[in-house]
Amino acid sequence: MHDSDWHSGLSAPYDPILRQRLNNRRRLQESWCTRACSALLLCVATAFALQAQTFRKLHNFDYTGGAEPMAALLQGTDGNLYGTTYEGGANGYTGTVFKITIGGTLTTLYSFCSQSNCGDGQWPYGALIQGIDGNFYGTTAYGGASNFYGTVFKITPSGTLTTLHSFDNSEGGYPLAGLLQTADGNLYGTTSDYGPNGDGTVFKITPSGALTTLYSFCSQPGCTDGRDPYAALVLGGDGNLYGTTVSGGAAGFCASSDGCGTVFKITPSGTLTTLHSFEGTDGAAPFAGLIQAPDGNLYGVAAYGGTNNACPTGCGTIFTITPGGTLTTLYNFCSQDGCTDGYLPYAGLTLGNDGNLYGSTEYGGDDGAGTAFKITPGGMRTTLYNFCSQSNCTDGGVPVAALIQDTNGKLYGTTPFGGAGFSCAPYACGTVFSLSASLRPFVETEPASAKIDRPIDVLGTNLNGATSVTFNGTAATFTVVSSSLITTAVPAGATTGTVQVVTPGGTLSSNVPFHVLQ
């Protein structure tokens, strides 16, 4: 495989339909898997004691209830987890929205293509968010009323879906990422393809469905501003949005100087600044988005590139970048013999309440089908789990979605392949799992920043009987709605810092500082 081969397989603007685009990625991954002697079906039956103590499979998908979950889960205000499957469901290979309890009971809330000609969308690839109105919002990569370029949708917790917008190619198409809601109530997202310049867009959409294209990639000569944004945006503490593009940027080793991808900043009004162009040795093709840590820096992964040559086009990296654009590589994958540390980090990172970062690799590890790992902000990496370590990969394999940390302290995630049964032959239909990493319970605020008097939801576990809620030491008036939800408002005099909730079981602190906006 030549350096340009992976890029041509992923360079979707020239593919006639999204299906071909994603199939190209899958064929590429299978090729990588074969080259590294790590094919999914070669998983061995050895299970390590540490894994048996920390890993629990919660659900096997069976196609009729969904298949191939590609997106991260979301903890809802009711304490349940919500997610999407890319395929399966009542209408065939069209995808679903589901709810699952932390005990593993799954309910399919919606099967896409329930409307004529899939006007409600098809193939949800990105994660859901829960809006300030309590409803969930997401995207489908295909389908819709306008020539099948994808949709933005709203769905109630009980499963009533409303299509807010159907994309046409003039404004962007094939949104592969979830959305971001800011304090003004608007939603922000990306399309991976099309738009005025043909290489993807950043857009804003109101909760009622009015869409504005904020930026069209490849607006600069040679696409030095980037192209093909696959990932969701993140809101920085400075009020700007940050994201990545899979290709484009200044020349690197990738695909005849077509660019190895970028990190960018964009204002809510649409002014874009390219913070970094990957060069190959520092990473390439960042499919995942970024997270911002309490130190103010952004952290992310690049699926390819790096300094290790065990993989044909590099095995991937973990990096940190300042808001000003100074990038540091924290880790190069396949640094261990046989790539037992994993390679191809397709999924993004999550910040644990212990200050460490958690993520996964799609391939590599002791059993070839990927790993879950922890890495410190200083770059010390530890493998937490090797996927496909159970016979016939019943624990799942090749994770592509980010882990999330539930307020009970555990990590939760999905795998698109593996699990019990082979109704999605030859790989089975995927799983939902939990992973204990000895992290403490915490509380999470929605949103994570707001002005004084702004209503705030505080998510947690075992919140009944709470006696105090404080914002960086300033007491707030609050209502305990359920064991998983407290409603409050930012109190007068509050400053940026930790939110704490005192319960009969102890004091719970927020996983990240709450930012009080002026």
Q: What's the pLDDT at 33?
A: 37
Please tell me the predicted confidence (pLDDT) of residue 233.
Answer: 98
Quote the CA–CA distance of 299 and 272 in Å, as a whole number.
19
- Is 159 contained in some domain? no
Average pLDDT over residues 377-402: 95
Average pLDDT for residues 419-447, to the nearest whole number?
89
The rounded distance, in Å, linking the Cα atoms of 292 and 321 is: 10
Mean pLDDT check: name the lowest of 47-51, 116-120, 368-372, 380-384: 47-51
DSSP string, 402-413: --EE-TTS-EEE
Does 352 reside within a domain? no
CA torsion sign for 171, 174, 177, 179 is positive
Is pLDDT at 256 greater than 80 in this prediction?
no
Taking a C-beta distance cutoff of 8 angstroms, is the pair 190, 202 a contact? yes
Q: Residue 139 above 60 pLDDT? A: yes
Are 466 and 479 in contact by the 8 Å Cβ rule? The answer is: no
Sign of the torsion formed by the C-alpha atoms of 469, 471, 476 and 480: negative
pLDDT of residue 11: 30
What range does the domain containing 496 cover?
Answer: 444-517
Across 11-20, 66-75, 300-309, least confident range:
11-20
Residue 88 belongs to some domain of the structure: no
- 31 pLDDT higher than 60: no
In a domain, 460, yes or no: yes
- The residue that leads in pLDDT, 23 or 502, is 502
| Gap between the Cα atoms of 298 and 289, Å rounded | 10
**Position 37 pLDDT exceeds 70:** no
The pLDDT value recorded for residue 28 is 37
453 located within any domain? yes
How much is the pLDDT for 257?
57
141 pLDDT more than 90: yes
- Check whether 376 has a pLDDT greater than 80: yes
Mean pLDDT, the chain, integer: 89
Cα separation values, 501 from 34, 456, 457, 469, Å? 50, 13, 12, 5
CB 388 within 8 A of CB 395: yes
Number of domains in the chain: 1
Cis status of the peptide bond prior to 294, with omega within 30 of 0: no
**pLDDT band for position 422 (50/70/90)?**
low
User: Quick check: 415 pLDDT over 70?
Assistant: yes
Q: Is residue 217 part of a domain?
A: no
Q: What's the pLDDT tens digit per position in 43-55?
A: 333 333 344 448 9
198 domain residue, yes or no: no
CA dist., res. 23 & res. 30, Å (int): 10
pLDDT of residue 252: 64
Sheet with 317-321, strands from edge to edge, namely: 291-292, 298-302, 317-321, 327-332
pLDDT value of residue 518:
81
Structure tokens at 37: 């002697």
Least confident among 8-22, 100-114, 128-142, 287-301? 8-22
Residue 10 has pLDDT above 60, yes or no: no
d(CA 382, CA 435): 14
Cα dihedral 362/363/365/367 (nearest 10): 110
What CATH number is attached to the domain comprising 472?
Answer: 2.60.40.10
Q: In angstroms, rounded to a whole number, what is the distance separating the alpha carbons of residues 228 and 218?
A: 9
State the pairing for strand pair 515-517/455-459: unpaired
Give the CB-side neighbour count of residue 173, counting CA atoms within 13 A. 27
Residue 449 vs residue 38, higher pLDDT: 449
* Any domain includes 455: yes
Instruction: Report the predicted TM-score, pTM, of the whole model to 2 decimal places.
Output: 0.91
Confidence of residue 40 (pLDDT cuts 50, 70, 90): very low
- Asked whether 195 and 172 are in contact (CB, 8 A), the reply is yes
Determine the pLDDT at residue 255.
56
